[in-house]
């Protein structure tokens, strides 16, 4: 796989608007092309190849965004992103849902901790570390 000159995309599937917006801004400050949506259906649309944007390198899914049929949708999302790792954000008080997760992070968690977890699964080369906005 050749390296893309475009920033790697990170899809954020989080129903809560403000945490999603804060995480998106923090990731864009690091050099990722982060975009967000409330549900897996929206991420399926955003995962479509776009010649003006880099490849999807990671998907973060908040467990609260998963509903009926989530495994089928998550598997479809994984196929559309060429097997990009999927990070599950799960509540501390409930069991994490089964799925093809590369890793599970428990809430409460800070934005900085989420950025660090994303960077560990989809690292940026030093030359790509700069704000994209």
Q: Enter the DSSP assignment of 126.
A: G
Among 52, 30, 54, 34, residue whose Cα is nearest residue 43: 34
* Cis preceding linkage at 108, omega within 30: yes
Least confident of 42-46, 65-69, 88-92, 124-128: 65-69
In this predicted structure, the answer to whether residue 113 has a pLDDT above a threshold of 50 is yes
pTM over 0.85: yes
Mean pLDDT of the chain: 94
* 8, 119 Cβ separation under 8 angstroms: no
Tell me: the pLDDT tens digits for 48-91?
999 999 999 999 999 999 987 788 999 999 999 999 999 999 99
pLDDT computed for residue 67 by the predictor: 83
Asked if pLDDT for residue 8 goes beyond 70, the answer is: yes
> Which pLDDT does position 82 carry in this prediction?
94
Place of tokens 């990070």: 87
């Amino acid at each position: 796989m050749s390296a893309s000159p475009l920033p790697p995309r990170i899809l954020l599937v989080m129903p809560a608007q403000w945490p999603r917006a804060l995480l998106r801004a923090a990731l864009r400050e690091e050099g990722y092309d982060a975009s967000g949506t409330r549900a897996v259906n929206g991420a399926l649309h955003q995962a479509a190849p776009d010649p003006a944007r880099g490849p999807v390198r990671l998907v973060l899914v908040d467990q609260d965004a998963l509903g009926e049929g989530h495994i089928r949708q998550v598997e479809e999302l994984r196929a559309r992103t060429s097997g990009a790792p999927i990070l599950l954000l799960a509540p501390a008080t409930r069991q994490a849902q089964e799925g093809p997760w590369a890793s599970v992070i428990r809430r409460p968690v800070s934005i900085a901790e989420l950025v660090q977890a994303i960077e560990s699964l989809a690292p940026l080369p030093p030359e790509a570390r700069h704000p994209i906005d």
